Amino acid sequence: MNVDTDEHPITDPSHQLTAHGSEPRQHKWLWIIIGIVLLLLLVLAAVLFWRQHENAKKKPAAPPKINITTATAQKGNIGVYLDEIGTVTPVYTDSITSQVTGVIVAVHYKEGQLVRKGDPLVDIDPRPYQATLLQAQGALERDQSLLAQAQMDLERYRIAWSRNAIQKQLLDDQEKIVQQDEGTVKNDQGAVQYDEVQLAYCHITAPIAGRVGLRLVDPGNLVQSSGTVTLAVITQLEPITVIFTVPEDSLGPVVTRLQKKAKLTVEAFDRTAQTKIASGTLLTLDNQIDTTTGTVKARSVFANKNDALFPNQFVNVRLLVNTLQGVTLVPASAIQQNGSASFVYVIQNDIAHTRAVKPGVTDGGLTQVEGINPGDVVANSSFDKLQDNVAVTVAPTGAAKPAPASTNGNSTSGSSAP
């Protein structure tokens, strides 16, 4: 019996078992690894979900409260002022010169002396003018005697003419002689009065009360009647005036108040505008506007009892134009700016709320505002941290300093506007 080895090959049984058993084992380990990875992902997802759920249950921590100082809006009065630069000007300034020619024999004043009206200042040699006056007086007495003689003759002629003892022509001639002598006497009287005035000019006195400046002449100096040499300068100090300008745009309220006979207060401050020197009142306005500057000059008067104002001194002037009654006032430092918008932080239940306001007049660190009511509490510090609806803690008095006010009464802050 022939066996066909080619059609029925004999295979190794051990080899066939090994080939079929390794392939299922590899698939099994692969599925185990995939299952472990999926299990880990499920566990990780469960953990993350649980943490998110727990975090959602927790409330966010509240931010720390801001420590601030506050101010309370008040109802009161505030002045409307006009600030300008003025020049102290004496009411009277006299530059005294000689009205006669002569040699100075005495200087009675001391430099910087306060003099009263009529106090002696300078004496000029009076002897030439005394001699001239004496001559004029002698001529007057002579002509007065001639007039008296002519009047007696006239009286005799009148009596004689009434008796027809003389002609009428003699009486008329005598009347004219009397009139001529009367004219001569008047001329002599004028010469005497003139010489008396010239003699009086030799003794120079103070025409006004005030302060004398530095000495300008000495005894022995020759002065002329032309008045080219100033002997002394006197300026009146009490009262004294300050001249300043008022812009034509601000002229209306000032004129209205003056027409109502109101006394407008004027305060003079030093160059720094910090120290008040004196207080006075507005005296008058000039009668025309300067077209080159668009201003009108105003003169104010000050008693100047302590001589605080000095002639030709430059001062800062504050004219009280009007007083606003019963308005809401807050510190100027409490008002914040965001561009052209103004606002404040109103504190309610320890929460800061922005409130738009319209600022007005500022004086003495206080500003008149519209938009809040008297009694509202506003923040006055820590503006760099404040925002709308932020919790705050009001610091005790003196614990925090208010923000400094700017020149226009409003401080600039980087906080957002309402």
Per-residue pLDDT tens for 379-400? 988 888 888 888 888 876 433 3
Give the H or E element holding residue 124: strand 120-124
First to last CA, the chain: 115
What's residue 62's pLDDT? 59
Averaged confidence pLDDT in the chain: 85
Give the whole-number percent of the chain exceeding pLDDT 90. 56
- Is the pLDDT reported for residue 415 higher than 60? no
Identify the CATH number of the domain in which residue 144 sits: 1.10.287
Give the H or E element holding residue 158: helix 127-162
The number of distinct structural domains making up the chain is: 4
Q: Is there a domain that residue 399 lies in?
A: yes
Q: How many CB atoms lie within 10 A of CB 49?
A: 10
Q: What is the pLDDT of residues 314-367, one digit of tens each?
A: 999 999 988 888 999 999 999 998 888 999 999 988 888 899 999 988 888 899
- Is the pLDDT reported for residue 79 higher than 60? yes
What's residue 311's pLDDT? 93
The model's pTM is 0.64
- 219 and 340 together in one domain: no
Which residues contact residue 323 at a Cβ distance below 8 angstroms, ignoring those fewer than 6 apart? 77, 78, 79, 80
Identify the CATH number of the domain in which residue 304 sits: 2.40.30.170
- 320 and 332 together in one domain: yes
Q: Are 71 and 377 in contact (CB under 8 A)?
A: yes
Q: Is there a domain that residue 59 lies in?
A: no
Q: What is the pLDDT of residues 15-26, one digit of tens each?
A: 444 445 556 666
- 189 and 229 together in one domain: no
Which residue range forms the structural domain that includes residue 172?
126-201
Q: Is there a domain that residue 8 lies in?
A: no
At residue 57 the predicted structure's pLDDT band, cuts being 50, 70 and 90, is low
Q: Is there a domain that residue 10 lies in?
A: no
Q: Which is more confident, 411 or 298? A: 298
What's residue 41's pLDDT? 81
Phi-psi region for residue 326, left (φ > 0), alpha (ψ -120 to 50) or beta?
Answer: left
Cα separations in angstroms, 354 against 111, 289, 390, 405, 416: 65, 45, 10, 19, 9
- 118 and 187 together in one domain: no
Last residue of a domain, one of 201, 222, 249: 201
What's residue 25's pLDDT? 66
- Is the pLDDT reported for residue 13 higher than 60? no
